Amino acid sequence: SSGINAEYGRGEKNFAGPTAHIADGVLKMNRKDIFKNMVKSGVAVKVTGRHVDVPCLNNVLEKQMFLQNLPSIVTSHVLDPQPGEVILDMCAAPGGKTTHIAHLMQDTGTIIALEKVGHKIDKIEKNILKQGLKSIRAFKWDATNAFSETSISVTCPPFGREVFDRILVDPPCSALGQRPQLSNQCRISEISSYPAYQWCFVADAIKMLREGGTLVYSTCSFPVQENEMIVVRVLDTFPEMELVAAEPRLGGPGFPVKGLMEEHASLVQRFTPQHGGVDVDTIGFFIAKFKKLRQSGL
């Protein structure tokens, strides 16, 4: 262990940049194991002494606390759910935002939580049970098939038009904003495929949203193709949708892209290490909020 600005051996090169002494420990796994042999789990360093007075919160007050990153917490507040409303969380696992929304609604109204992967639904239901919430209904369902033009259902998927007061779309993304990441195995072709997939969620969400309703779109990724360019496409494709301020505001403005006016960039929120409004480090994140001014197709 050593202090800030000391020299550390990093592979075959010496690293002389800023460092922070947070703990003493015994090395159990080397760089070759992590980066070359791609060991996916295990203990890399066994900590023998901490130098930061932050307690471990695992299994502490599980029914009273739920660990979330700051931008995810902000996202639920941006949605601004109200008691008694009918809300859709299209990609709900593991349930952090879903349960937060329920608490903000005082556990009244109805929240529909969709997730297509079975074991992820189990996590959502476990969190619902742990927190004693009654307003959430979780379904194992592919949210890209959540809308049906012929459906009249308001209680289970698929749903028809103009059903929900508020919809949260936090779709699958490249997750390049997640930290820490020792390595990332995503190929360029995979990253490039996300915007078209994300659009499927957004387009159907707008059809299911009531006049006067709110849609919040969020990702934990950096590329503008998954974020600002989705906003531009919404505004170009659906004239009934208005981009409004994503408040409360703790992040910075959006990145400049073709078709996104400066005033629109100032309405969205971006969280990045170099591009945020908060004085704490967060994961990379994006939040945009829309209002539906009138029924679709009118």
List, as one string, the DSSP characters of 204-224: HHHHHEEEEEEEEEEES---G
Among residues 56, 156, 186, 220, the one annotated as catalytic is 220
Contact 277, 250 (CB under 8 A): yes
Cis peptide bond N-terminal to 248, omega within 30: yes
Amino acid identity, position 57: L
For residues 78 and 216, is the Cβ–Cβ distance under 8 A? yes
Cα–Cα distance measured from residue 148 to residue 144, given in angstroms and rounded to the nearest whole number: 10
Burial 226-262 (b: 16+ CB within 10 A, else e): bbbbbbbbbbeebebbebeebeebbbbbbbeeeebee
The question of whether 220 is a catalytic residue gets the answer yes
Q: Which two tokens stand for residue 284?
A: 């990379």
**H/E element holding 189?**
helix 188-208
The answer to whether 110 and 135 have CB atoms below 8 angstroms apart is yes
**Strand 13-15 with 8-10, pairing:** antiparallel
Residues 97, 74: Cα–Cα separation, whole Å:
10
Structure tokens at 35: 């980066």
**Beta-ladder partners of 136:** 111
**Nearest alpha-carbon partner for 272 in 256, 248, 252:** 252
Closest CA to 235 of 212, 269, 208, 258: 258
| Catalytic machinery residues | 220
